[in-house]
Amino acid sequence: MGWTKEQLLARLKELDLDFEQYEHPVVLTVEAALKYLANKEGAFCKNLFLKDKKHRFYIVSALAETKVDMKVLSVRLGLGKGGLRMAPEEALGDVLQVPLGCVTPFALANESARHVALLLDQGLRSQKRVMFHPLSNDMTIALSTVDLDKFLKSLGRDLAYVDLEANPPVGKDQPPDLAAFAPSDAIVLPESTAKSASTEVALKNSQSANSGPVTGKSIKQPVEENKVKNKSAKGKTVNAVTRSTPFSNPELFVNEILDKTSALIFSEINKETISKDGEDLGAVASENIRKRLHSELSHLAMLFKNTAYTEGFHAGTHLHGPHL
C-alpha cells in the first residue's frame, strides 16, 4: 500500500517544512484546480507521467505555462523522436501508487517508484511557492522549492532542474544533454495490468503537455511488453512490479477503502480535536470524515466499475472473438 495523504503531510511536518494546504473538490486538470486556487499564493504545477521504449518511467513537473515538446524531450534524453510517450494509466497504481489526477513528485516517496526519474522545470525556482497535490487531488499544498528540495533529498533523490523549453542540437559531436537523467533501471508492469491498459477509457483524460493537466492519458500497452518481463535491456536490471492494482482486485479495493477511512479517523481524533470538540467530537468527526471521503470514494468506485467493465470485455473477446 502506498503512502496516504495524511502520512505525507505528517512527513512534511516531521522535516519541519513550511507549507500551506488548501482543501477543494476533486480535480483532474490544472484548469479545474485553478478555479479554487486562483487567489492563493503560489504557481500550480502540471505533472506528466511518461514512459520510454525501454520500460523506464519519468515524472516531469513544470509550471502550467511551460511548453513541453515530447519529441524534443525524447531526443534530449537520447531516446530518438518517438521514444517517449504518456505512461499507461494502470502504471499510476502499480508504479506510483496514486489514483488518476494525483501525479506529483511526492509520489516518489513510494518504494515502487524508486526507479522513476524526475525532471523539474527550472522555472519553478523563480517562484516564491509552487503547488502540488499531496497524493490526493482533493487538496493542494504550496511550498518553496527549497523545501521541495529538502523533501526530495530526504528520499535520497538527486535534483534535476532543467530548461524544458530548450531545443539544443543533437548530433555526432553533440550528445543528448539530458541523457544522464534517464533511469538506469526499467520497470515491467505485471501481465495482468498490462492487459488492461484501456481500463480507464470511460474516464476522458484531457492530458496534453502544453495545456497542463495533472496526469497522463491512457495508452494501450504494446503486446511486446510482456515478452521482456524477465529480460534485461542492454544488460541493465529490469525490475518487475508485482503489486496487483486495487481497481481489479475486490479484496485490495476494499482494503484501499478501509485504509483511507482509518487514516481519516486517526487524523480527526487527536488531542487538539478532543480538547476543542469535547462531547461533540463523535458527531463533528463523523461529519468531517463523511465530507472528505465522499468524493474520493465516488472516484474509487468509478475506477472499480470501469475496471470491471474492461476486464469483462477482455474476457468476452477471448471466449467469443472480436465482434465484426
Strand pairing class (43-52; 130-132): parallel
Per-residue pLDDT of 258-309, as tens digits, reads: 766 766 676 667 667 677 777 677 777 777 777 777 666 766 676 666 666 5
Give the per-residue pLDDT at 139.
Answer: 96
Lowest mean pLDDT: which of 120-134, 194-208, 239-253, 281-295? Answer: 194-208
* Residue 45 near residue 124, CB atoms below 8 Å: yes
Angle at 223 between CA 110 and CA 219, to 5 degrees: 60
Average confidence (pLDDT) over 201-222: 40
As a whole-number percent, the residues of the chain with pLDDT over 90 amount to 50
Give the per-residue pLDDT at 190.
Answer: 66
Q: Report whether pLDDT(242) > 60.
A: no
- Return the C-alpha torsion angle 163, 167, 172, 175, nearest 10: 10
Cα 118 to chain centroid, rounded: 12
End-to-end CA distance of the chain: 41
Per-residue pLDDT of 59-96, as tens digits, reads: 999 999 999 999 999 999 999 988 999 999 889 999 99
Q: Which long-range contacts (CB under 8 A, 24 or more apart) does 249-252 make?
A: none
How far apart are the C-alpha atoms of 145 and 142, rounded to whole Å?
Answer: 10
Q: Give residues with Cβ within 8 angstroms of 103, minimum separation 6.
A: 47, 48, 49, 59, 92, 96, 214, 215, 216
Helices 5-14/250-268 angle, 10° precision: 50
Give the per-residue pLDDT at 286.
Answer: 74
pTM as predicted = 0.61
Confidence band, pLDDT 50/70/90 cuts, at residue 41: very high
Among 210, 298, 212, smallest CA distance to 33 is for 212
Give the per-residue pLDDT at 121.
Answer: 98
Give the per-residue pLDDT at 261.
Answer: 75
* Torsion angles phi and psi, residue 323, rounded to 5: -75, 145
